A and B are shown apart, each in its own frame.
Chain A
Amino acid sequence: MILSNTEEVPGRAIREFYGVVTGSTVRAKHFGKDLLASLKNFVGGELKAYTELLHEARQEAVERMVEQAKALGANAVVNVRFATSSVAQGAAELFAYGTAVRVD
C-alpha cells in the first residue's frame, strides 16, 4: 500500500478513485505514566510517555485506514491527513483519513 500526503502519487497516474477512507482510535492515558509525565512537567522538555502513546495510536489509526482501503481494492491512499481531538478529560481521538485510489 502506497501512502502519500500529496494529491497524486509522484511519478504514477491515478486510474480509479474509491473515495475517502478513515481510521481512528481513541486512547486514554495510563494513570502511572500520567503521574510520571506530571512530574516531568516540573523540569520541562519532552514527555516521552505521551510521545510513545501518540506514536502507537497514530500507527494504529493509519493501519485501520489502510485496511479499509485494501477492502475497497485500492493500492494507494493519497492526500493523507491527521487530526487529533480530545473527546473527554484524559482521552484523545487520533484520526487519519485520505482518498483511496488505484495507481499504475
Chain B
Amino acid sequence: MLETLLQLGIPAFLLALGYVAGTTAEQNHYKSIRVRELRFRRMPTTNLRRPPAHWRVESVGLVCGHTVVSVDYFKRFLARLRRLVGGRVRAYESLLDRARREAVLRMKEEAAKGGYDAVINVRLESTNIAAPLRNDRGTAGVEILAFGTALKLARAAQP
C-alpha cells in the first residue's frame, strides 16, 4: 500500500512542483524580459556585418551574453506525451524563446556597461551541453550564446 502510494506519489508531486514552480518562473521571467527590452530599445542591434556608412565608429569590442536553461518536470512530461503523436512541442518553444531573448539582453547589458552604443554582427548559437541519459534522467540543458561586435560611436553620428 505504502509502496504504491510512493510510486505514484513521487512523480505526481514532481509534476505538481514542476507545473507550479515552472509556470511562476516563466511568468516572472517574461515580465523582466519585457521591462529590460524596453530599457534597451534605443541601442541598435543588428546581424548585419557592417555598420551603416554614416556611423562614425570610435572604438570596437566583442560582447557576449549567454544562459543555460532546462525545462521543468511537467513540461518534460508533456513533451514526452507529444513525442507519441508528433507535432508542435509548445513546452520547449517558450523556453528557447526566453533563453534567446535573455542571452541577447545580457549581451546588450555588457555592451552598455562598456559604454558602447550599438552592436553589429550579432550571432546566436545554441549548444546542447548536458544531454540527458537514455531514460531521460540526468541534467538536460541547452546553452544559448549571443555575441556581437559592440561599437562606440562619435557623438555627432549617434543613431
Contacts and interface: CB of A to CB of B under 8 A. Distances in A.
A41 B70 contact: yes
Interface size class of A (residues with CB under 8 A): 20 to 34
A34 B68 CA distance: 13
Q: Interface residues of B toward A: which range? A: 35 or more
Contact of A82 (B49, B120, B125, B140): B125
B118 to A, nearest CB: 10
Contacts, number: 124
A51 B66 contact: yes
Contact of B141 (A3, A7, A9, A37): A37
A26 interface: no
Contact of B121 (A3, A5, A42, A50): A5
Interface in B76-134: 95, 99, 102, 120-121, 123, 125, 127, 129-131
B60 A44 contact: no
A44 B25 contact: yes
Contacts of A10: 50-51, 55, 57, 60, 120, 149, 151
B56 A11 contact: yes
Contact of B57 (A11, A80, A82, A86): A11
A4 B62 contact: yes
A100 B145 CA distance: 23
B87 to A, nearest CB: 21
A40 B127 CA distance: 19
Contact of B69 (A2, A45, A82): A45
Nearest to A58: B64
B12 interface: no
Given A29-B130, A44-B25, A45-B69, 11 more contacts: A6-B120, A6-B149, A45-B22, A45-B25, A46-B68, A50-B129, A50-B130, A58-B64, A62-B62, A82-B64, A82-B145
